[in-house]
Structure formats: structure tokens, C-alpha cells
Structure 1
């Protein structure tokens, strides 16, 4: 945790001068009891104890060894390179579902204890502001769902995958589990022969051992912890080339390659469609991770979107619907992954845009009019605002159900805001705004105020009153150009997805 701005005590014989300095600073460490460990956070309105103050993570190096069974923990080593932003006598990591064997800080053993869903780490020597911080944690990673968690490791038919949104990365590995602190990632995954391991980014090494193989991957761009992906299973890895030579890598159950191929070949054209709308694809590769699992959602893990196999194999999903869901997760690579939310209240920027392009794709390729969907959403919008809060000020998650922040108000309710904005400023200005948004904030974080300011700049006029009503109002404002639209909770709206 942050300490007072006093000189850090040195590991040397204490003189009268150093004792006097300690007394003046109020940090006579030898005579003071250590503070009571507490869970910290960076003050996120929806997840107050997520993230930690005092340091900025630069990179993660994660090593997992899978024992060949989902009933046994993985052994793991998490290495974190960071830089301190305060003087630190101790600091916190988010981690809540595993056993910690040891923690080293800058090569020296550190003491640690738990506080809520945090690890409180006390290095042997306090850390100066602006100093390098290398943390090495040897721990287990539990594939059994943690009590009260909505994610982390997901069991598949033949292995595991990750689903860390919104706040479950720390159920898998120690981290600063908030999207405002993006970092580079390297993965090393050791699996028994017969299994394949994949992760975000590009492969950098494969090493064969006695009865096992270690697969290594590295991200080419910074990533939020909630977007990390490691999948282990008896999978086939399929390669093809997308627009402008983009590598496309799909990971599917080996036994289902033939059945899934008709869907997989659609990705390249979908990427080209998105690039025509908002600009170049922002990462080093893309693909689908199709898992034999029942999660209840699909997930935009960076460069490798997670899908339930049933989405593609169940006959009751219309073809146009499946394709639009593929585009929903693809569009997140721009909106949510490349441009990440600064706080979880900015979630509408992720899901509203993904829903927007999902609906626009259905309109342009399957004759499913955007206006019909938006009018239905308008009819339910007041109900959504009442139950879940307005799009940019969502209510906190239901107790014990952290992913309940993913309500209709941040999907179709937020897409409705974008529809109203297009009506307000015109299609050419709206399309220019979209391209500028992802270009200006690529590989970074942004919040609602950033979007409002950019929209006003593009429109050439102050839109603060417009956004105040549409993003924060208890009631949905009148729809520009459609004064006849009414809010009527009896209307139906399409099912949302994460």
C-alpha cells in the first residue's frame, strides 16, 4: 500500500541520524506494529476492490502446468514486471483462488498474507517511487470454480479455457485485475502429450519433453487481464490468411473440424467488413476458440474469441444470427480490447458498439433492419434503465452474481444511444467519429467523457446535453427523427450477448 513520502530506510547500521529521520517521518519501523492487511482497490464504482494502487504493471509472464485432469490444480508461476508510482512499504495483488507457495520481490523473498480477494505483499526493503518492481509468485491455479465467482477457468469437454470477464482473472493468476492497467503478456503452458495449448497472441516456442509439451505465446499489444486466454484440450489449430495478410488462427475440437469449417471460413470477410467500417484490424492475428462447454455467453478474449460449440451446431440458431454474433465478438477487438474501458461504468462503450455492429451486419447481409431492432429497444429502454440503471451509470452487480452488470441497458440500450447519436449528428459525422475513436485510443484506455468530447469535436457543437439525457437519464429522451417512438415494456427485444 502507499506509504508516506519519507526516505525509505536502508539496509545498514542505524545511526542517530537515521533514527531521528524515522521519528520525524513517523515510520520508526522497528518500534511500529505493521498495519492490518486490508483489500485495496483503485476506486472503481462497480468493483471497489479491483485493481491496486501504487504501481503500474508493464508485463506478465505466466507459466501453467496442466496435470491432465480438471479435478487437480495446475502448478503455476506468475512473473510481473511493474514500476512503482508511490513509495511502497507493502502492496496488494488481486488473487483469490489458489495456494501461494512463495513470493519474491526483486529477487528477495517477501512476506505475504491474504485480505479478502487480495494478497498483501511486504518486501524486505521498502520500494522507492519510480523504481522497477519484479514480482515472482509460485502458486497453484484451481480449475474448480471458486465460490461466488462467475469465471476464471472454464471446464470444457476435454480440458480448460479462460473466461475472466469482468473480474475473474485473479481467480486464475495474481494480477492487477482492472482494465485500466493494460500490460504485455507472455504465456508458457505445459500439457501432457495429446493435448494442445493455445493462448493470446503469436506462438514463439514449442518444446517437447518427456511425455509433455510446453507451448509459448506472446501478445503483440498491451492487454487487459480480463481478456487473457489460455485453452487446453484435444484441439486442432487451423491456419488461414485474412485481409492484408492477417494471420487467422482457429482452435476447435479436433473431432469437429469438418462440421465447423463452414463457419470458420466466414471470418476473413467479416474482418474485411469491419475494416471498411472503422479502419485496420488492431492486432497481430485473430481467430475463434470454439470450446465444448456451456458458459451461457461468448467472450471477446483478445485475438482469440471464445465461443460455445453449441452456437454453431445447434439447429435452432438461424444462420444470420450466428454470423451476427461472430461479428459482435470480432468488433470487440476494436471496441473493448484495443480501446479498453477506463472504469467498468464505461462498459457501454464496449457492448454498445459491439451490439451496434452486430445489428448493422445483420441489416446489410441478412435484411434485418436496424431501425426495427432499435425501435424495439426504445420500447424497453425505460424498463432497462429502471432495473439496471442508465447505460453509462449501471447499477452494481447483484450480490453473488458479478457478471450481472452485463444487462440489456449496456447492450441494446447502449446501441440505442449510438443510434440516437447518428440521428443527431448525421451518418457522415458518426462514421468519422467511429474511425477516429479507435485510431486515437488504440492500445489504450478511454472513458465516457473522452467519447463525449470527441463526438462534440466531430459534430462541431457541444453535445453535453444530448449525452446527459441519453447516458445518465432515468428516462429515455425522445428519439431524434422519430417523435412517434414510445417506451412500451410489452415490446420484445433481441437477446444480448457478452
Structure 2
């Protein structure tokens, strides 16, 4: 059909259409104003307003435009595909650090307002239970942190990275920001052509348009929002092969490529070691992102763990311990990423296991006895329980310090629980349990009760009493096989760099 063969509408018709659209927008806004919007949550004990009920996210499509300055807001579009689990007049999204320009629900303009750290969206008609819906939010994403906010964008010396654990993905993009709602992700990041962009998953194109390039990445497995990662910087991406042909890609500052290579070369063997303990690597790729930033921690973002570059170039810790930290974040790919916590009170399952394999690696590879570390942890365990709560019942984060849930009790204290379990049921049963845990719950969420049930099934007896004492007791129970171990008030457990 020729372009000019279509009749041109009369001016009066155009005016009527504009008037109708304006009236529709006004009516939507009035509808939103009829009842006050409220922040919601999924009832997490530690973060009551995190996540939102009424829908399950299937996928996120995140588009960011980076100007070349990491102190200016990025222009962004977030598209969410979700299925409603109940009738919804409104949809609450977690979003707290950006300006929302417009919202559409299934292609139609929707009203929106803020309530606490929620973006409350009112579609022009209710969403029935069981329906598939598309929510598109045009917004900014601000890399400059607001007061009393932890996490989100991390400003590096040459760009940006992300650190969203535990309660910070919604400082970057609108989301259902709770690990119980995992989804697939697509990232589209436009940046000046002299920048390199890497995100979770596998690359799906890099399209040059004048002075900018748009990079696309897609995950092959569902992911919790807190594990999202986008790196924008003057970086080099290095590729090598891991076990069974696994693609290993690392992202490093270009100027430090040669100095960092000896550390990067260790990853394939570390993956092979972890596979010998718990089974096949659970994702499509892995690697480390060495960022020029001061975070004070490392982070297990899915398929691309975040590290401070200076940890490797200006080490204040012995080499064996740095390697064990690398294994800590690697092991999270199984424990915390592939098998995500159902609630944040289950975080001991993430950190206890990562600390366990960190310590076991140091024991087997560097002659740093596991038993010595566990005995030291036992000595401090009562003090940790008193200050931070028992491993599976951690105290709430301090006001304005959401990452303060990451206390010693869920690291070495939780690894101590695993050591006690191995002492209780024997090494063969324990190792079988570990493999079954990551196999049975791959790409899903699981909680403490699930672990107790599986451990009991593997052991062939009810272990609920054992776990009740070790996970919830105010005092540390006697250690099976080591009745001589004593808990003391002195901080004797292993100290080192913070890791998540």
C-alpha cells in the first residue's frame, strides 16, 4: 500500500481524539486519588515492606542510558512481565531512588504515586487473577546515593557497577525486590562507544550507533533482583575455558589486565574443585568483575561476582585467604544464587555454606585446618548469638543500615552449624545432602524448613531437635565429637575481609 493512499483525518477528528486522551488521563489520575496508596510487602520478618503480594514476575527488561558521567541520573525504561495471583486494582512495585516519568500497563497509561519505598500503579481497569500483564516504567536511575541508603549503583573510578544485596535493587530499577520472586532478565545498556558494558548472563549483541553502543545481555536462568549486575567502565573482558567447556569471562580495568591475570587464572580450577564437592556449575557462565571502587565487601552477583580490584593489586591479606574469598563468592553461585533464600531469615543457608566451602578450600589447598577455624568459631558463638541472634533467627538490621544483617553469626556461626551437622550424621551423609540440596532446588527458592526435612531424610532420622538447638538456641549446643570445646566471651574466631 502506498503511504499517501491512506485518507488524512480531519482536524476536528484529531481534536476529538486529543480531548478523549486528555480526559482519560485525568480520570486515571482522579481514580488514583480516591484512596490513599500504601506501601506493601510480602511479610519478610527482617524487611517487612520488601517485595509485593499479588503477582509473580516472569521477566524484567531493563534499559539504561549512561551519559559518561557517573554522578548524573541514567535514563531508564523497565518493562516487567508478570502474572497476577489475585485480583488487583493496584500494583505495588519497589522503587525508591529515581524520578518516574510515565507508567503504562498493557500499553495503556496508568496512574502512579509513591508510598514509602513503593511505586503504586493504578491501571485504567482492574487486573483479574491469573492474567498476564506488562508494566512499563519510564524513569531515571540515580547513581548518587541518598542519605541512609545502602547499595544500588556503585560508582567506580571509571564508571558504574551494582551491589543490590540485600534491600537495594529497587534503588536502581522498579521491581518486586525480594529473593522469593526470581525472574529472567534482559539488559540493554547504551553507553559512549569507548566504554565496555557487561551484565549478568550471556551477550546478545552490541549495536553501534554513532558515538554510542547499545549492549544487550540475557540470563539463561531465573535470578533474584538482589543479584543483578551491570558494569560500565573502561574495561577489558577476558575469556577462558572452565570445566566441561564452561565459558569463563572476567571483567577488569584495562590498565591492570596483566597484573590481574595470575588471579584470574585460578578460577577454572576453583570451579572444578567446587564441582567435585556439590556437582555441576549451575549457570551458563561465570567470572569475576574487578571494580575500581571502595566497597568494603565482595558480592556474589549471579554469573559475575563483584570484587574490589585493590584486593588483588594491593593485598593486605595473605594470598591463601584471598583465594578462599574467591571460593566464597564462587560457592554462592550454588548456595544463594541458584538456590535462593525464601526469606531473608534463611540467609544463613547462603552465607553458612559459602563460609563452609571457603574454609574447606583453605583446609584442603592451603593447609589451614578446618577444625581449628570451627573451634575458634565455637568459642565466639555464644557472643554472636547474643549480639546478632542465632543463625536462623537473626536480629533485624540497625536503622539506616540494612546490610547490618550480615553479622558473624550467619558466616562462621552458620558454618559451625554445618560442621556440627557433619559431626552428627557423618561425612558421607553430609556430602550426599549437599549435592541433593543444590540439585533438588536448582533455579528456585528454599528455606530452613526445607533443609531440615532433606537432612532428616538423608540421615534416616528426625533431626528437627538438633536443628532447633543449633539454629534457634540462645546458647551454642555441645559440639558432637568435641565435648571439650567451650564457648567463651572472647572474639577468637577468624577475622578477615567482609564478604557477602
2:143 aligned with 1:155: no
Deviation at 1:32, TM superposition (A): 11
Over residues 223-242 of structure 1, what are the superposed CA-to-partner deviations in whole Å (9 max), with x where a residue is unaligned?
00000000100000001110
- Could you tell me whether the CA contact under 8 Å between 2:398 and 2:404 is conserved in 1? yes
Q: Map 1:162-181 to 2 at 5 A.
A: 162-181=162-181
Deviation at 1:488, TM superposition (A): 1.1
Deviation at 1:71, TM superposition (A): 1.6
Structure-2 residue corresponding to 1:497: 499
More moved, 399-408 vs 310-319: 310-319
- Could you tell me whether the CA contact under 8 Å between 1:334 and 1:438 is conserved in 2? yes
2:138 aligned with 1:138: yes
Over residues 392-431 of structure 1, what are the superposed CA-to-partner deviations in whole Å (9 max), with x where a residue is unaligned?
0000000110000000000000000000000000000000
Q: Map 1:329-408 to 2 at 5 A.
A: 329-408=329-408
Q: Map 1:68-107 to 2 at 5 A.
A: 68-107=68-107
How many Å separate the matches in 1 of 2:290 and 2:491? 33
- Could you tell me whether the CA contact under 8 Å between 2:32 and 2:111 is conserved in 1? no
Structure-1 residue corresponding to 2:253: 253
More moved, 144-153 vs 431-440: 144-153
Over residues 194-250 of structure 1, what are the superposed CA-to-partner deviations in whole Å (9 max), with x where a residue is unaligned?
100110000001100110101000000000000000010000000111000000000
Q: Map 1:50-69 to 2 at 5 A.
A: 50-69=50-69
Structure-2 residue corresponding to 1:200: 200
Q: Which runs of structure 1 show a deviation greater than 2 angstroms over 4 or more consecutive aligned residues?
A: 30-35
Structure-1 residue corresponding to 2:126: 126
How many Å separate the matches in 1 of 2:499 and 2:242? 25
How many Å separate the matches in 1 of 2:55 and 2:499? 34
How many Å separate the matches in 2 of 1:213 and 1:356? 42
Deviation at 1:489, TM superposition (A): 2.1
How many Å separate the matches in 1 of 2:235 and 2:266? 20
How many Å separate the matches in 1 of 2:262 and 2:79? 40
Provide TM-score, normalisation by structure 2: 0.93
How many Å separate the matches in 2 of 1:191 and 1:322? 33
How many Å separate the matches in 1 of 2:284 and 2:392? 31
How many Å separate the matches in 1 of 2:465 and 2:278? 26
SS in 2 for 1:364: helix
Structure-2 residue corresponding to 1:26: none
SS in 2 for 1:449: helix
- Could you tell me whether the CA contact under 8 Å between 2:77 and 2:136 is conserved in 1? yes
2:40 aligned with 1:40: yes
Deviation at 1:311, TM superposition (A): 1.0
Deviation at 1:491, TM superposition (A): 4.2
Deviation at 1:31, TM superposition (A): 10
How many Å separate the matches in 2 of 1:98 and 1:117? 11
Provide TM-score, normalisation by structure 1: 0.93
Deviation at 1:33, TM superposition (A): 7.3
Structure-1 residue corresponding to 2:452: 452
Structure-2 residue corresponding to 1:463: 463
Structure-1 residue corresponding to 2:26: none
SS in 1 for 2:467: helix
Over residues 233-287 of structure 1, what are the superposed CA-to-partner deviations in whole Å (9 max), with x where a residue is unaligned?
0000001110000000000000000000000000000000000000000000000
SS in 1 for 2:285: coil
Q: Map 1:202-351 to 2 at 5 A.
A: 202-351=202-351
2:430 aligned with 1:430: yes
How many Å separate the matches in 1 of 2:499 and 2:221? 25
SS in 1 for 2:93: strand
Change (3 A) 1:32 1:422: closer
Over residues 448-498 of structure 1, what are the superposed CA-to-partner deviations in whole Å (9 max), with x where a residue is unaligned?
000000000000000011000000000000000000000112242123521
Structure-1 residue corresponding to 2:483: 483
SS in 2 for 1:59: strand
How many Å separate the matches in 1 of 2:217 and 2:489? 48
Count of aligned positions:
469
Deviation at 1:146, TM superposition (A): 2.3
In structure 1, stretches of 5+ residues that fail to align are: 1-29
How many Å separate the matches in 1 of 2:166 and 2:180? 12
Over residues 312-355 of structure 1, what are the superposed CA-to-partner deviations in whole Å (9 max), with x where a residue is unaligned?
11232211001000000000000000000000000000000000
SS in 2 for 1:146: coil
How many Å separate the matches in 1 of 2:341 and 2:328? 17
How many Å separate the matches in 1 of 2:368 and 2:331? 18
Change (3 A) 1:31 1:331: closer
Over residues 350-393 of structure 1, what are the superposed CA-to-partner deviations in whole Å (9 max), with x where a residue is unaligned?
00000000000000000000000000000000000000000000
- Could you tell me whether the CA contact under 8 Å between 1:205 and 1:217 is conserved in 2? yes
- Could you tell me whether the CA contact under 8 Å between 1:146 and 1:171 is conserved in 2? no
How many Å separate the matches in 2 of 1:178 and 1:223? 11
- Could you tell me whether the CA contact under 8 Å between 2:305 and 2:330 is conserved in 1? yes
How many Å separate the matches in 1 of 2:386 and 2:139? 43
Change (3 A) 1:31 1:377: closer
SS in 2 for 1:387: helix
Structure-1 residue corresponding to 2:24: none
How many Å separate the matches in 1 of 2:57 and 2:137? 15
How many Å separate the matches in 2 of 1:147 and 1:209? 37
